[in-house]
Amino acid sequence: MNELAITVIGPDRTGIVADVSEALAGLGANLSDSTMTRLRGHFAMTLICTGAAADDVEKALAPISGLLATVRAVAPEADTDAAGEPYLVSVHGADRLGIVAAVTRVVAAAGGNITDLTTRLTGPLYVLIAEVDVPPGSADDLAVRLAVAAQELGVEVTLRRAESDVL
């Protein structure tokens, strides 16, 4: 089925999610996966929809006040390859240029795939939490490389196994 990747961002106000999802529903577009959050006063939505044409969605979102929206047709998800081992990376320290770039480059170089990542800047403190799928058996090596990068950046880093208890 035709999938659309949609991003919407704008100054936060009440009713953004309702406005956007109503516009999508009006076109018969089905909202499958989405993430929506507030980033420093901006409300950001990233979503995957099915069942509507990109042009129609663009037209439907355009009149909603204060929002910048992009719509793009995308190929459906490929079969995911062999899963790595789930790990969590925490980084915190004084804000400086390039923390995310340096840390994620180290993760990528080790074959780690970032599946989720959040950063927060509060005052002088920069915090990065990433969920990473790491190739089996390579976590110790990644931990060493992260420690080296963290020392260069003057930040603290922790790599630990993510728990996923099935209940």
Partner 1 sequence: MSDALADWKPDVLGVEGQVLPVVTAPAGVLSSAGAEVDPADPAIVQLAADLVATMRVSPGCVGLAAPQVGVGAQVFVVDVTEHPKTVTAHGTFVLCNARVVEASRWRPGREGCMSVPDLTGDVKRAGRVVVEAVLPGTGEPVRLTTDAFEARALQHEIDHCAGKLFLDRVAGAHAVYQRKVYL
36 near partner 1, rule: CB under 8 A:
no
130 near partner 1, rule: CB under 8 A:
yes
Residue 60 or 130: the one with the smaller Cβ distance to partner 1 is 130
Residue 48 or 162: the one with the smaller Cβ distance to partner 1 is 162
CB of 150 to partner 1, least distance (A): 10
123 near partner 1, rule: CB under 8 A:
yes
Q: Give me the half-sphere count of Cα atoms (radius 13 Å) on the Cβ side of residue 20.
A: 26
Cα–Cα distance, 116 to 75 (Å, whole number):
21
144 near partner 1, rule: CB under 8 A:
no
Instruction: Choose, by CB under 8 A, the member of 17, 90, 109, 136 that binds partner 1.
Output: 90
32 near partner 1, rule: CB under 8 A:
no
Residue 24 or 103: the one with the smaller Cβ distance to partner 1 is 103
CB of 2 to partner 1, least distance (A): 29
CA dihedral angle for residue 122, residue 130, residue 76, residue 32, rounded to 10 degrees: -50
b vs e for 95-126, b when ≥16 Cβ sit within 10 Å of the residue's Cβ? eeeebeebbbebbeebebeeeeeeeeeeeeeb
The helix (H) or strand (E) run that includes residue 42 is strand 42-50
Residue 153 in contact with residue 99, Cβ under 8 Å?
A: yes
Cα–Cα distance, 64 to 6 (Å, whole number):
14
Contact residues for partner 1, defined by CB under 8 A = 88, 90, 92-94, 116-118, 120, 122-127, 129-131, 155-156, 158, 160, 162-163
